Amino acid sequence: MSDQVKLLPPDALAGVRLGISVSQSADLGRLGLSEAHFRLTLGELARLVLVGGGTLAYGGHLRPDGYTTYLVDELLRYGGRTDRPLLICLAWQEHRELPLAELRVRKKALALFGELVCLDVDGNEIDPAAGRGNDPELVPDPVIRKCALTGLRRYLRRRTQGRLVLGGKTHDFQGELPGLMEEVLVALEGPEPQPVYLAGGFGGVTADIVKALRVDDLSWLPPDAGAPPPDPRLLEGHRRLEVHAAAPGWQGLSNGLSADENRRLAATCRPSEVAALVSLGLGRRFAKKT
């Protein structure tokens, strides 16, 4: 298959919202890659969904250097959508630790492109102004922070039909498990698992997910001699994914790609090839038959 990106027809993903699971990968340097290369791939994935008539969802933060801002910039670049195709969700601590006035300004600015949803600790939509003044309110309790992140991920599961996975922290994360690992587990649980696309060629916890789900053995990934000991929560995430993949009813990633195509997606770091493979899988999985 050529890695030239074949864009989906304009309405192929109509009514389909794809969740984006993305965070920084500490493996970029040892793979000879940069953050710019990583973001270029994220942009290619966002573009193919938007051009195909789909929408995007992301649970993150509103800091200027983050991926929320980057996704809004991509919407500006490609334009042409008036249906506000971006859903941004903020976990409890992310909106509670912002001044209310700033949150209102950011919500108003985002309104041209999409919807900003604030959640409580259990992942339910709330009015972010309820029970607080303008000043930020710190949420230092790690248990509350972990619960709020799990609530966010379960909310996104209800609002999406599939998941794109890229990068991810293996250390210094806040949740019960590494964030992207938990998002994949939530996506795959239940009688109707969501299709998941693992772009593992940029390393990070996505590569760990690839190995745990037996998509690829990661023989291409250079060893990291200076890595700290694995976080016990990372090992627990590995265990849970391995149990999932060993279950009698395991049907794979249900993403429209063959085992060989999923291995290619798991290993490549070429933005065009990542986008081409994801486009192929989305087309098979979601494109309307005529």
Q: Is the pLDDT of residue 290 over 60?
A: no
Pairing status of strand 17-23 against strand 162-167? parallel
Integer distance in angstroms from the first to the last C-alpha of the chain? 24
Tell me what pLDDT residue 81 has.
79
Q: Is the pLDDT of residue 230 over 80?
A: yes
Per the listing, tokens 């793979």 go with 31
Tell me what pLDDT residue 288 has.
65
Q: pTM for the complete prediction?
A: 0.94
Instruction: Check residues 63 and 149 and name the one with the higher pLDDT.
Output: 149
Q: Is the pLDDT of residue 213 over 90?
A: yes
Tell me what pLDDT residue 287 has.
80
Q: What angle do CA 120, 105, 96 make, to 5 degrees?
A: 25
List alpha helices for 111-217, DSSP H: 142-159, 179-188, 204-212
Tell me what pLDDT residue 1 has.
44
Q: How do residues 34-93 score in pLDDT, each as one tens digit?
A: 999 999 999 999 999 998 999 999 999 998 889 999 998 888 887 667 889 999 999 999
- 3-state percent breakdown (helix, strand, coil) of the chain, nearest 5: 45, 10, 45
- Cα–Cα distance, 37 to 28 (Å, whole number): 9
Q: Is the pLDDT of residue 4 over 80?
A: no
Average pLDDT over residues 95-121: 94
Q: How do residues 160-195 score in pLDDT, each as one tens digit?
A: 999 999 999 999 999 999 999 999 999 998 788 999
Mapped onto helix, strand or coil, the DSSP state of residue 37 is helix
Nearby residues of 99 by Cβ (< 8 Å), 6 or more positions away: 134, 135, 136
Instruction: Check residues 10 and 188 and name the one with the higher pLDDT.
Output: 188
Q: Is the pLDDT of residue 270 over 50?
A: yes
Please report how many Cα atoms fall inside a 13 Å half-sphere around the Cα of residue 14, on the Cβ side.
6
Tell me what pLDDT residue 2 has.
45
> Which strand (E) or helix (H) includes residue 23?
strand 17-23
